[in-house]
Structure 1
């Protein structure tokens, strides 16, 4: 029989999950706002300061809360009646969480590192470069996607749409 949480343990895990989700969502929303603010920079120092602030957010309020969200979400799925693959909404949340984390690891981190290094190397002139503009836009679109994904995940957490995953005939329990 699978491990089941007591009510107190479940509540502690839910609190950790909600705090990590809130930190991750809030920081990603801040990143989007700061990305938009990059266009309002008036000089190289201000541009670099905005990007450096985003770097601090990324290192402290995106990476660790994202991993904690995934970890606590998987534990809640495994150790409660929801299961990891019993309901479509749980599977959708797991897939979206993994996709947004992988998007950050394999793309956004590199894109952001380029913006920061370009601002350091070229100063305010970086904003006028085509490569800076393209990578900035990719970051904005990724931030919009991530925030939309988080909003959608919050929606399905409360409304639990799509129903239960039906077992195929002859499948073992």
Structure 2
């Protein structure tokens, strides 16, 4: 017999999961808005300050909430009637969660750091740099994709579409 959460424990775990997801979405939106704001910087100090803000948000409102969302989502799936592989919506959420976390680790982190280095080295003139503009476009595009994924996951959590996985 598999372990199942009682209602009180499930409610606590759902609350932790929702707070983690809300933090993750808020952090992703903040990173996107700050990245867009970079283009309207008035001087090198403002660009450096904006990048420093992005690093704080990345460290505190993206990494840990994303990981906590993944862990609590898996726990809720395994310890409730939904299961990890019984329903398409749960599988889709798991795949998209892992995908957005990996995008953050392997791409957004690196791109944000490289923008910071360009700004430190070049100052305000970095805004005119082709590499800066290319990396900036990648950050904005990828962050927008992550926001869409997070929004889609939120909707399918409540709608629970696509039905049950058929056993063969």
The TM-score normalised by the length of structure 2 is 0.99
Take 1:27 and 1:101, find their aligned partners in 2: how far apart are those partners?
A: 13
Deviation at 1:2, TM superposition (A): 1.0
Q: Summarize the alignment of residues 116-131 of structure 1 with structure 2, pairs less than 5 Å apart.
A: 116-131=116-131
Identify the residue that residue 2 of structure 2 maps to in structure 1. 2
Structure 1 alignment gaps of length 5 or more: 169-173
In the alignment, the residues of structure 1 paired with residue 27 and residue 110 of structure 2 have an alpha-carbon distance, to the nearest angstrom, of 18
Stretches of structure 2 that go unaligned for 5 or more consecutive residues are none
By how many angstroms is 1:106 displaced?
Answer: 0.7
Q: Which aligned pairs between 1:1-173 and structure 2 lie closer than 5 A?
A: 1-168=1-168
CA distance in 1 between counterparts of 2:134 and 2:160 reads: 37
CA distance in 2, matches of 1:108, 1:30: 14
Residue correspondences, number: 168
Q: Deviations over 1:32-87 (max 9, x none)?
A: 11111001100000011111100100001100000000000000000000000000
1: CA distance between counterparts of 2:112 and 2:105? 11
Give the Cα–Cα distance (whole angstroms) in 1 for the partners of residues 59 and 121 of structure 2.
22
CA distance in 1, matches of 2:108, 2:92: 22
Give the match for residue 171 of structure 1.
none
Query: Which secondary structure does the structure 1 equivalent of 2:82 belong to?
Result: coil
Pairwise CA RMSD of aligned residues?
0.5
Secondary structure, counterpart of 1:42 in structure 2: coil
SS of 2:41 mapped into structure 1: coil
Give the drift of 1:117.
0.9
In 2: Cα distance, 1:115 partner to 1:99 partner:
23
Separation in structure 1 between the aligned mates of residue 78 and residue 124 of structure 2, nearest angstrom? 50
